Amino acid sequence: MEIKPLTGGLGAEIIGADLTDDSSFADIQQAFADHSVIVIRNQEFSPDEHLQFARRFGEINVNRFFTPLQSHPEIAIVFKDTDQKEAVGEGWHTDHSYDKIPAMGSILHAIETPNVGGDTLFVSMSLAFDALSPTMQKFLKSLSAWHSSRHVFGAETLSSEAAETGRLSNQDAATQDACHPLVIRHPLSGKSCLFVNPVFTTHVEGLSSTESDALLQMLYTHIQQPEFQCRVRWQAGDDTWDNRATWHKAINDYHGHRRLMHRVTVEGCAVDPAH
């Protein structure tokens, strides 16, 4: 099994893995801790095998809003059809940051991809934190921020194309709010990671809305630097990403073509502040 970094900072490709072999899982888990995004190439997975692999990382966290796969309701369908314009997940985000215990990460399995396009971009929250000045780092470590599912998956989104086409539903269940440290100590690597994102974070606790908006906007601009990113070009295979260490974004550049992914999300643990 070969582990090849995707960039100088974030992500790695894993070639030649045998996911049924218990002894290689320790190396896969270590690569996940080291690189935050691992792309395990050339795996043909059945839904049962997908779930089996995910359970090696932890309990499954069933997404409340994505259409489930009928035969395996723990698997969420991420789909865009030829006549649809909106891709689910096209804004920068961290899955489930609105939960009091945020998910560890997700495993996306490519079933059908366009010939060109439909990549996923990731960005590292620890590289972004490390590049800030010590004074800003100290200030941010003293803060917490609120996250919510309401404005993203609730009733106000009923008129979105994703809801109208049935790709997102269950709007009444969008009642989650959570306050997390703005800088967390990563549970696996121990690194300090920024923990706010443009889709789910609503405001910074204790700041006025003008102050909170300005601070978040500054961070979002800083975080999006290409030096902290990696881009995954999909082949038949798997991608496992860590929600506590990254943001991700589906690139919506394949209008007129189908893209179908199966996503399994794995439970995490409470996130502690970095010191």
**In the complex, least distance from residue 206 CB atom to ligand SIN, rounded to whole angstroms:** 30
Strand ranges, E, within the chain? 2-5, 12-15, 37-41, 60-61, 68-69, 72-80, 105-112, 120-124, 144-148, 177-181, 183-185, 192-194, 201-204, 229-232, 237-242, 246-250, 259-266, 272-273
240 binds ligand SIN, rule: CB under 6 A: no
Nearest residue (beta carbon) to ligand SIN:
89
263 binds ligand SIN, rule: CB under 6 A: yes
Distance of CA 161 to the CA centre of its chain: 21
Looking at residue 153, its amino acid is F
Of 139, 125, 138, which is closest to residue 271 (Cα–Cα)?
125
78 binds ligand SIN, rule: CB under 6 A: yes
User: In the complex with ligand SIN, which residue's Cβ is closer, 174 or 250?
Assistant: 250
Of 187, 204, 87, which is closest to residue 147 (Cα–Cα)?
204
User: In the complex with ligand SIN, which residue's Cβ is closer, 186 or 263?
Assistant: 263
Among left, alpha and beta (phi > 0; psi -120 to 50; other), residue 206 is: left
Per the residue annotation, which of 95, 99, 239, 242 is the catalytic one?
95
Question: 22 catalytic, yes or no?
Answer: no
Q: Which tokens hold the place of 248?
A: 């991700």
**In the complex, least distance from residue 197 CB atom to ligand SIN, rounded to whole angstroms:** 11
Total residues contacting ligand SIN by CB under 6 A comes to: 9
**In the complex, least distance from residue 173 CB atom to ligand SIN, rounded to whole angstroms:** 17
250 binds ligand SIN, rule: CB under 6 A: yes
Of 62, 16, 69, which is closest to residue 39 (Cα–Cα)?
16
Q: CA–CA distance from 198 to each of 138, 145, 163, 210, 218 (Å)?
A: 22, 12, 20, 16, 11
Question: 93 catalytic, yes or no?
Answer: yes
Question: 257 catalytic, yes or no?
Answer: no
Could you give the string, one character per residue 86-105, with x where binding to ligand SIN holds by CB under 6 A and - elsewhere?
---x-----x----------
User: In the complex with ligand SIN, which residue's Cβ is closer, 191 or 263?
Assistant: 263
Of 152, 94, 157, 82, which is closest to residue 118 (Cα–Cα)?
82
261 binds ligand SIN, rule: CB under 6 A: yes
Per the residue annotation, which of 35, 50, 64, 93 is the catalytic one?
93
Q: Which tokens hold the place of 191?
A: 């690194």
Question: 263 catalytic, yes or no?
Answer: yes
Could you give the string, one character per residue 35-74, with x where binding to ligand SIN holds by CB under 6 A and - elsewhere?
----------------------------------------
User: In the complex with ligand SIN, which residue's Cβ is closer, 108 or 183?
Assistant: 108
DSSP 181: E
**In the complex, least distance from residue 135 CB atom to ligand SIN, rounded to whole angstroms:** 34
CB 119 within 8 A of CB 235: no
CB 205 within 8 A of CB 10: no
120 binds ligand SIN, rule: CB under 6 A: yes
Which residues carry out catalysis?
Answer: 93, 95, 248, 263
Residues that bind ligand SIN (CB under 6 A): 78, 89, 95, 106, 120, 248, 250, 261, 263
